[in-house]
Copies of this chain bind each other. A is one copy, B any other.
Amino acid sequence: MPRVCVTRRVHFSAAHRLHRSEWSEERNREVFGDCANVNWHGHNYELDVTVEGEVDPETGYVLDLKLLKRLVERSVVDDLDHRNLNLDVPWLEEKNPTTENLVVAIWDRLVSRMPEGLELKRLVLFETPRNSVEYEGR
């Protein structure tokens, strides 16, 4: 059977700031610029979750996109949407919430929850329409 990638785009809105607690505010401001603003800032994130697998000859699906949407919402989006990435998310604790660290943490949440026979292939995370990161678990 042919192997096809299916992608579902989900979104969430969150606050964050970039900083390392062991650094001074001056050092944080120097390295992270406006992103270190003490009182936070925020973004509308868009996340493309891509799963690869064989097309099921009976249903014609790799997987039902409604299931993928639900899985991503329960494992990831419900914890992130309308939250503070530095303060509110247990599985981001002690991480500086750069887009890079965020995409790797999301990967680690999703990869262990993949239905049998399916491979988490790629995540693309947009922080703004012009800034994005891509991770394939390597």
Contacts and interface: CB of A to CB of B under 8 A. Distances in A.
Nearest to A50: B134
A interface, over-half SS: mixed
A131 interface: yes
Interface in A35-75: 35, 37, 39-44, 50, 55, 58-62, 65-66
Number of copies: 6
Q: Which range contains the number of A residues in contact with the other chain?
A: 35 or more
B82 A37 contact: yes
Interface of A: 2-11, 13-16, 18, 20, 31-35, 37, 39-44, 50, 55, 58-62, 65-66, 81-84, 87-88, 95-101, 103-104, 128-135, 137-138
